Amino acid sequence: MNTRRQFLTHAAIAAGGLFCTTRLAFAGAAPAGGGRRPRLVLIVMRGALDGLAAVPPYGDRDYASLRGEAALRAPGTPGGALALDGFFGLHPSLAFLGQCYGARELIVLHALASPYRERSHFDGQDVLENGTPRPHALQSGWLNRALAHLPGMRPREAGVALGQNVPLVMRGPAAVTSWSPSKLAALDDDTLARLTDLYAGDALLAQRLADALAADAIAAEDGADMRSPMAAGDAARPRGANNARYAETVRAAAGFLRREDGPQVAVFDTSGWDTHANEGGAQGQLATRLAGLDAALATLRQELGPAWRDTAVLAVTEFGRTAAINGTRGTDHGTATVALLAGGAVAGGRVLADWPGLAPRALYQGRDLAPTLDLRALLKGMLAEHLGVATRALDEDVFPDSGRIRPLAGLMRA
Amino acid sequence: MSEPFSSAIAANRFGLGARPGELDAIGSGGRDWLRAQLAGAPPQLAGAGLRSSTDILAEALALRRELQAARKADAPGVAAADPLQRLPQLLRPIYASEVTARLQQAVTSERPFLERLTQFWANHFAVSIDKQFLAGLAGSFEREAIRPHVLGNFADLLLAAETHPAMLLYLDNHLSVGPHAPAALRAARRDPQRRIGINENLAREILELHTLGVGGGYTQPDVTTFAAVLSGWSIGGEGGRFRGGVPGQFLFRPELHEPGAKVVLGTRYRDDGFGQGVAVLRDVARSRATAQFIATKLVRHFVADEPPPAAVARLADAFHSSGGDLPRLYHALLETREAWDGGLAKYKTPSDYVLSAYRGLGLPADAAHAPLAPFELLGQRTWSPGSPAGWPDRSADWDGAAALMKRIQWAQALGERLGSRCDAVALAPQLLGANLGSATRTALAHAASAPQAVTLLLAAPEFMRR
């Protein structure tokens, strides 16, 4: 039986939501600054990522039997997981993230969950994004509210959503924009001037038009890099097309973020994580999706260039999946899962997990990986250390009534 | 009802956008115009390339088996790209034909309220083309399972949707096996390592998205038991363990069905095979929670992003007291005072926007005029909500900056295409009626060219909303 104590060296221990280890001290929110311009990319993985497949705990004695033929083998075996810390591995499709781990630029957080404890994707995503414990409690998102509290001067549009519309996590009081490549001709200047007049009496459209122009101006300066070589896909596309779309999206994200005067925060969605049937193991459906994510992150790093050093990339999902494989070689909706925090600004090379184990009694409601880490602890720690958002703003506004959820400290390089 | 707005609200909010002359014809009788559309059977779509889902799925399943066999045999004649290409080559033209037929129907229909309701229900029972085979089935699903029942009873609509092969495939139920079903016991004897069993996806989404709603009072054990009830709801003509039946058609497979009586939501259902699931569906269709959930969605779609509770209560009563009679529900909706005030409360979805432009400008909707493109360009590829929850229905989901810019750019392209053939100044009151404001009127009157005037009309705040 693996004991919790074994993980003390590389894990922060949650005790009533309180984190303390020898290595990780509570920092007062370290202010961002010193000329550094932090960048953040948030990737929302919609559909509930199987954390036990993305980061298999091959060292857990119950893991292989729960997963049956889909279980990933230990590192060093054919098709085996990539080595992390001797207990957890990375799915073999995540080669770039494996390199990040080796370069101490990746923190894997496991057995983590938002405060949501039901199993609806849509309510789960709402909680993931709105930053409260309850679905539909707010019509704005934690990331936008955090932007509203960024210290110092910031550009008018501090955040950009890659896509036509803005996901809930990025909606709110701070001005943000959205951008996606267009196959249509740019708007004529005279028509634009007239539309600006026509929208003067319409607050929503006036704001959106101004935001769109701001994003387009950056994209135009950036030139061909942000234009897609891919046509907007057809229906019934071959499988690789989704991955090409991610690559296109991260190129655009990098185009915005690497500037010194553009948005500091970018967000985009990925989908296809809802693997109820034929999920696969080292290869298969989920492996293809993970490979696409991994390739996108590699592209992001390459495109960001020197700005990677000041970047954190956070990938999160609404909840996890059942610990056991189901009757159709997939997994159903679960509870705890993983989050991945990568980037040059991350103090990585660690797995943070207070591992609850996968023994039958340890499972949440007898079926899911039990949550031992509140997602908000991660988000608060990252926002405090990376973007310099003040503790009080985090406790009261960004994550309302979350004072008892202490931020994880030491996530970012000093 | 405030009378000057009657025709514009009827045509633009309840319908799919006014066509020239339509507002005059409606006059102050908006409600009557809509009521009349609820009489008579829903029209069936016609068009080149429309095939039954059974026909399509049988061909797709046969093709998949062929590809799998070739892969297994590592047949030299089969190029590596083939398996990736041949299914899309089958499904993509079917998808294109279906989207075209749906667009043509929407653009030419004299009963646009009925078409909007059809689209509402298709989105309520959403399937998404990003899953294998669904690109070829989403259109026939709407024609076969949704359209015929839009003026019927909700319970019949529900049963038609949940037994359609498109839904069973989309939510993975066709392979779900009861743990004590004969097939599972046989398999366990042969290979104890190999797990076959329940997949709870369809059961959960029926309760959460199709009937009771997420707060509707069900628990995880209800989901699991309901999934056992639905085990055996499958499709004919799959290979291996799932052979038999008419290929591509719904098939109840007793050997996959979890035996025994089961308790779902406090009610005990004896096991009579297929009938057990039908009985659960019939009961959840009649539940008060379902009435509340459906009423909320309908009011959100037709009245406001934040549905007025009083209006929801009236619709829920109509639904519940009539036992799910859909025309009664629609009549209650038309009686809802809040739906008839002059405000343009709903921001158009991209699909709304495209359809209203097609109707307003009389654009050709045939295959030669790239009928799929506007939906893709503007961010709402037909039948691809990406999740079983369907497309969202609030302004904030659609009013992004990039989304707005694409609408305007598309409007500009339309203006240039139409050139001086279109007089936007004369057209504006015909499309917007009493909603046409003085700022837009002035902008159109002072436009530098006919194409620019078309752009300004389609980009006007009044045309962005309904």
* Tens-place pLDDT, residues B306-360: 999 999 999 999 999 999 999 999 999 999 999 998 789 999 999 999 999 999 9
Say if residue B427's pLDDT is above 70. Answer: yes
Chain A residue with CA closest to B95: the answer is A235
Q: At what angle do helices B450-459 and A189-198 cross, to 10 degrees?
A: 40
pLDDT at B2 over 70: no
Minimal CA separation from A261 to chain B, in Å: 19
Q: Does B455 score more than 80 pLDDT?
A: yes
- Looking at the predicted structure, is the pLDDT value of residue B76 above 60? no
A contacts of B456 (beta carbons < 8 Å): 191, 194-195, 198
**A299 occurs within a structural domain:** yes
User: Does residue B448 sit at the A interface (CB-CB below 8 Å)?
Assistant: yes
Q: What is the mean pLDDT of residues B143-172?
A: 98
Burial B213-227 (b: 16+ CB within 10 A, else e): bbebebebebbbbbb
Assign B84 a pLDDT band (cuts: 50, 70, 90).
low
Token representation of residue B27:
């006059």
Alpha-carbon span A277 to B198, nearest angstrom: 10
pLDDT in tens, A94-108: 999 999 999 999 999
Q: Is residue A32 part of a domain?
A: yes
**Rg of chain B taking only CA atoms, in angstroms:** 24
CB B93 within 8 A of CB B131: no
Q: What is the pLDDT of residue A4?
A: 42
pLDDT recorded at residue A154: 66
- Do B377 and A184 count as a contact with CB atoms less than 8 A apart? yes
Structure tokens belonging to residue B138: 């989403």
Determine, for residues B403 and A164 on separate chains, whether the beta-carbon distance falls below 8 Å.
yes
Q: Is residue A166 pLDDT above 90, yes or no?
A: yes
> What pLDDT score was predicted for residue A229?
40
Lowest-pLDDT range of A309-313, A314-318, B72-76: B72-76
pLDDT value for B21: 97
Separation CA B263–CA B270 (nearest Å): 9
Under the banding of pLDDT at 50, 70 and 90, the label for residue A356 is very high
Distance CA B244, CA B85 (A): 27
**Number of domains present in the structure of chain A:** 1
Nearest residue of chain A to residue B376 (CA atoms): A232
Chain B residues with CB-CB distance to A368 below 8 A: none
Mean pLDDT of B167-180: 95
pLDDT of amino acid B360? 98
Closest alpha carbon to A12 in A314, A338, A355 = A355
Cβ of B412 under 8 Å from any chain A Cβ? yes
Compare all CA atoms of chain B with the CA of A175 and give the residue at the minimum distance: B401
Whether residue B455 lies within 8 A of chain A, CB to CB, comes out as: yes
* Rounded mean pLDDT, A131-144: 96
Is A288 a member of any domain?
A: yes
| Residue A251: predicted pLDDT | 93
Q: Under DSSP, is residue A177 helix (H, G, I), strand (E, B) or coil?
A: strand
Indicate whether A319 pLDDT > 80. yes
Average pLDDT over residues A205-230: 77
Q: What are the residue ranges spanned by the domains of chain B?
A: 53-285, 350-464
A to B CB pairs, distance under 8 Å: 200
Condensed to tens digits (0 to 9), the pLDDT of residues B401-411 reads 999 999 999 99
On the question of pLDDT at A226 being above 70, the answer is no
Q: What chain A residue is nearest to B405 in terms of C-alpha separation?
A: A212
Going by the DSSP 8-state scheme, the letter that residue A339 receives in this structure is E
Tell me the CB-side half-sphere exposure of residue A205, using CA atoms within 13 A. Answer: 22
CB neighbours (10 Å) of residue A220?
Answer: 10
Q: How far is A240 from chain B (nearest CA, A)?
A: 10
| A124-128, B242-246, B277-281, B370-374: the lowest-pLDDT one | B242-246
B1 in contact with A at a CB cutoff of 8 Å? no
> Which tokens in the block code for residue B106?
């929407």
- Helix B288-302 with B309-321: angle, nearest 10 deg: 130
pLDDT for position B82: 61
pLDDT above 90 covers a percentage of chain B that reads 86
* pLDDT score at A241: 62
- Pairwise CB contact (< 8 Å): B214 & A234: no
A258: closest CA of chain B, how far (Å): 20
Q: Which letter does DSSP use for residue A93 in this model?
A: T
Residue of A nearest to B378 (CA): A164
- pLDDT over 80 (residue A239): no
Residues of B numbered 339-368 whose beta carbons fall under 8 angstroms of chain A's beta carbons: which are they?
none
Q: CA-to-CA distance for B97 and B139, rounded, in angstroms?
A: 9
Nearest CA in chain B to A139: B396
A159/chain B closest Cα distance in angstroms: 12
Residues of chain B neighbouring A159 (CB-CB closer than 8 A): none
CA angle B111, B113, B119 (to 5 degrees): 110
Q: Is pLDDT of B73 > 80?
A: no
pLDDT in tens, A257-295: 998 888 999 999 999 999 999 999 999 999 999 999 999
* pTM for this entry: 0.89
Contact B387 A182 (CB under 8 A): no
- Tell me what the mean pLDDT of segment B181-203 comes to: 89
Which of A201, A204, A327 has the CB atom closest to B439's CB atom?
A201
The predicted-structure confidence for A292-305, as pLDDT tens digits, reads as follows 999 999 999 999 99
**B-chain residues near A212 (CB < 8 A):** 401-402, 404-405
Write out residues 79-118 of B within 8 Å (CB-CB) of A: 84-85, 87-88, 91-92, 95-96
pLDDT bucket at A357, cuts 50 / 70 / 90: very high
pLDDT at A237 over 90: no
* pLDDT tens string A38-86: 999 999 999 999 999 999 999 999 999 999 999 999 999 999 999 999 9
Q: Express each pLDDT in A177-191 by its tens digit.
A: 999 988 899 999 999
Which residues of chain A does B378 touch, with a Cβ-Cβ cutoff of 8 Å?
164
Q: Which of A69, A198, A365 sits opposite B440 (nearest CB)?
A: A198
Mutation target among B206, B397, B404, B407 for the A interface, most CBs of A within 10 A: B404
Name chain B contacts of A234, Cβ cutoff 8 Å.
88, 92
Q: Chain B contacts of A116, Cβ < 8 Å?
A: none
Nearest CA in chain B to A204: B399
Distance from CA of A38 to the nearest CA of B (A): 24
Burial class (CB in 10 A: 0-12, 13-18, 19+), B382: buried
Calpha distance B119→B113 (Å, rounded)? 10
Q: Which residues of B touch A47 (CB under 8 A)?
A: 387
Does residue A55 fall inside a structural domain? yes
> For residue A26, is pLDDT > 80?
no
Query: Which string of DSSP letters, residue by residue, matches B400-463?
Result: -HHHHHHHHHHHHHHHHHHGGG--HHHHHHHHHGGG--HHHHHHHHT-SSHHHHHHHHHHSHHH
Contacts of A206 in chain B (CB under 8 A): none
* Residue-level pLDDT at A3: 41
B218 within 8 A of B289, measured Cβ to Cβ: no
Cβ atoms of residues B71 and B87 within 8 Å:
no
Task: Among B95, B171, B439, select the one facing A235 at the smallest CB separation.
Answer: B95
Helix or strand holding residue B309 (H, E)? helix B309-321
At A128, the amino acid letter reads L
Residues B288/B318, Cβ–Cβ less than 8 Å: no
The DSSP string of A17-73 is TEEE-SS-PPPP-PPP-TT---EEEEEEETT---HHHHS--TTSTTHHHHHGGGPPP
Burial class from Cβ neighbours inside 10 Å (0-12, 13-18, 19+) for residue B438 reads exposed
What pLDDT was estimated at residue B70? Answer: 81
CATH number at residue A274: 3.40.720
Whether the complex's predicted ipTM is more than 0.90 is answered with yes
Inform me whether the pLDDT recorded for B191 exceeds 70: yes
Query: Within B41-153, where are the H helices?
Result: 53-73, 82-108, 112-124, 134-141
Task: State which residue of chain A sits closest to B197, comparing Cα positions.
Answer: A327
Higher pLDDT, B191 or B453: B453
Confirm or reject contact between B458 and chain A (CB < 8 A).
no
- pLDDT at residue number A35: 63
Nearest CA in chain B to A242: B130
Residues of B within 8 A of A324 (CB-CB) are: 195
The closest CB to that of A183, out of B171, B377, B443, belongs to B377
Query: Could you say which of A68, A135, A276 has the minimum Cβ distance to residue B199?
Result: A276
- Closest residue, chain A, to B383 (C-alpha): A235
Inter-chain CB proximity B405 and A187 less than 8 Å: yes
Domain range spanning residue A32? Answer: 4-181+228-398
Among candidates B91, B396, B409 on the partner chain, residue whose Cβ is nearest the Cβ of A171: B396
Rounded CA-CA distance B158/A236 in Å is 27
A190: nearest CB among B175, B448, B459: B448
- Average pLDDT for residues A364-378, to the nearest whole number? 98
A197 belongs to a structural domain: no
More confident: A31 or A376: A376
Could you tell me whether strands A373-374 and B233-235 are parallel, antiparallel, or unpaired per DSSP bridges? unpaired
User: Could you tell me which chain A residue has the CA closest to the CA of B187?
Assistant: A327
Q: Which amino acid is at A2?
A: N
